Structure 1
């Protein structure tokens, strides 16, 4: 008879395995020695250990379904319970029991995960519906249309909910898309009508523009072309296939008129350019009068220059402010010199200036006396107040004396 810690072979060749419930018959071995019999059934036990280990790994690391995992566990349990192996079968049962607990735990985790995913999908679809309903009111036809198409693709990528919830949300989503499509169709139908009206108006504008193209009434015709252009812009765009052809005719008619006008104006511009050259020479001559030393002579010379200036015709409009500004600057300098001369020779103004100066001088002298008196009495606060007042009066007096000097006094 042969034995090991988990099994034995009796004299008849019967193989036993030891379990918590006592010995169990494993099988009969007649083909060799008892040690060979134990080794054979021990290898079968090792095979069960390997299979259980592999199943444990699959359950922990793969997406093996709970149903398939339980079927594999039951199959292994049948083999363990059949007692056709020698080893710690009770330990294998414990491992299988723990594996059942793990499968149950994984089943609950997957159930909770599916619930979370379902709730996330619900929230995602509700968000898509909300955005679609907002887009249904948009007038940004291209951007909103592209966004709605993107929302459909996003919807298709989300898992389905329960049938009732999914159908309700899809109905709202589909209704929002339909409402947007209906509004967009109405908008473009209206736009087509507007473009047809624009085409009709622009054909009339083109006809009038072509009729005016030979006019030589430059001012009124140019003004009328500006009116026609304003009406053209206000009419909006016609259909694409008509807009360019109508614009080319309209612009072409204007080009004919304005080319003819430009030819006429070119002669005028040449004359005005020559006038500008003459006026710039006169402006330079006038500027040589500055600074004014002899007012009477400067006034007479400027008058003579100005008479020659007036005899010259128009200059280009864009050059007019600069050249006229040079003449005006000389004229202002002469006027200022005249005003200064008048102030110097005006007896009434001199008398007023002298009177004001005398009054301010008397006030300053009086304040100085009061300050001395206050200091003699030890009233420094009053003295300081009077000194501040004296500073103001002295400044006014200095200004008045400066003005009096302009009269030569």
Structure 2
């Protein structure tokens, strides 16, 4: 008979293992000595110890699933419960119990992590849906379209949720994208229609511009070109290729007209500068008539100058006020001389002037006599009052006499 702390072999060769529930039969050993029997079953125990250690490391250090871990634990527990090993089997059971607790804790952690991941994925997808629904109303066709495509890629990278929630969110997401695509398609269809309308309108503008390009009616045609340009801007843009071709033709027609006008204006400007030189000579000739000493000769000479002036034609616009102002000054001086001559030789005006002078002279003489009489009578107050009145009448008389001198009298 042989034994150790965890087992023994009886005389019949039966091997036992000691447990908390008492001895359990391990097996029968007939092939050798009892010590060999115990050593054999102790090696069985060591094998279980190694197997449990390996499983413990796998559970703690790898992503072994809870299901596979529990299956492995059950397999080892069956071997322990079969009592086919000699050793501290109760200690092995305790290690398995603790390992079960670890696996269950890991299962809860994974379940919680999965729940968190699912919640995060749901929140992320809800955020994507909200942004997609907001973009569905955007008119920023390029940037919004690119962003929606990026949202699809982001969606594909997120974990799936439960079917109902995932389908509902995807339906909203897809509906937002479809709404945006429908609006964008309608917008560009309307834009194409507008561009075609603009092309037709600009075709007419180009035709008129080309028809006007040979006109020599400079002012009205230039004004019409400005109106055509305003109409061009108001018409909107046509399709790119058509717009470029139409603009080239439209601009080309204008260039032809304005180049011809520029050349014509250059010739006109040269002619007007020559006209200015000739008119400057004439106005210098006219200014020599001043001051007027011989009205008849001055009038005849000015008439001759003015006839030649009118025959010359236009001068540059910026020089016109000055040169015409000088000519008008000479004309006004001659007119004023004519008016003075008329006043001097007008019999009726002379008679009126002489009558007024006589009346004023009589009034002055009368007042002077009244002043002398008042002084003689010692009435100085009355004399002073009459003196002031006398001074006023004398001033009027002096003015009348000056006017009478203009008539040569």
How high is the TM-score relative to the length of structure 1? 0.62
Aligned partner of 1:95 in structure 2 is 95
Structure 1, residues 113-156: CA drift from partner, whole Å, max 9, x if none?
A: 22222221221122112111111111111111221222222222
Q: Measured at CA, do residues 6 and 266 of structure 1 come closer, stay the same or move farther in structure 2, by a change above 3 Å?
A: farther
> Unmatched 5+ residue regions in structure 2?
274-314, 319-409
Q: What is the aligned-residue RMSD (CA, Å)?
A: 2.8
Task: Report how many residues are paired.
Answer: 279
Question: Which of the pair has more CA radius of gyration?
Answer: 2
Q: How does 1:265-344 map to 2 (within 5 A)?
A: none
Aligned-residue offset at 1:248: 1.8
Aligned-residue offset at 1:40: 2.1
What is the alpha-carbon distance in structure 1 between the residues aligned to residue 150 and residue 99 of structure 2?
45
Aligned partner of 2:208 in structure 1 is 208
Aligned partner of 1:58 in structure 2 is 58
Kept in 2, the 8 Å contact 1:16–1:23? The answer is: yes
> Unmatched 5+ residue regions in structure 1?
274-311, 316-409
Aligned-residue offset at 1:43: 1.8
Aligned partner of 2:8 in structure 1 is 8
Moved more, 155-164 or 112-121: 155-164
Moved more, 124-133 or 20-29: 20-29
Aligned partner of 1:116 in structure 2 is 116
Q: Measured at CA, do residues 271 and 17 of structure 1 come closer, stay the same or move farther in structure 2, by a change above 3 Å?
A: farther
User: Does 2:243 correspond to 1:243?
Assistant: yes
What is the alpha-carbon distance in structure 1 between the residues aligned to residue 196 and residue 9 of structure 2?
107
How high is the TM-score relative to the length of structure 2? 0.62
Structure 1, residues 216-239: CA drift from partner, whole Å, max 9, x if none?
A: 344443343333222222211112
The residue matched to 2:18 in structure 1 has which SS? strand
Kept in 2, the 8 Å contact 1:272–1:314? The answer is: no
Aligned partner of 1:22 in structure 2 is 22
Aligned partner of 1:255 in structure 2 is 255
Aligned-residue offset at 1:157: 2.3
Structure 1, residues 207-266: CA drift from partner, whole Å, max 9, x if none?
A: 011112223344443343333222222211112342222122112212222333444556
What is the alpha-carbon distance in structure 2 between the residues aligned to residue 73 and residue 195 of structure 1?
77
What is the alpha-carbon distance in structure 1 between the residues aligned to residue 190 and residue 316 of structure 2?
57
What is the alpha-carbon distance in structure 1 between the residues aligned to residue 201 and residue 225 of structure 2?
15
Aligned-residue offset at 1:178: 2.0
Aligned-residue offset at 1:267: 6.4
Q: Measured at CA, do residues 88 and 146 of structure 1 come closer, stay the same or move farther in structure 2, by a change above 3 Å?
A: same
Structure 1, residues 337-364: CA drift from partner, whole Å, max 9, x if none?
A: xxxxxxxxxxxxxxxxxxxxxxxxxxxx
Q: Measured at CA, do residues 271 and 39 of structure 1 come closer, stay the same or move farther in structure 2, by a change above 3 Å?
A: farther
What is the alpha-carbon distance in structure 1 between the residues aligned to residue 58 and residue 266 of structure 2?
96
What is the alpha-carbon distance in structure 2 between the residues aligned to residue 27 and residue 69 of structure 1?
29
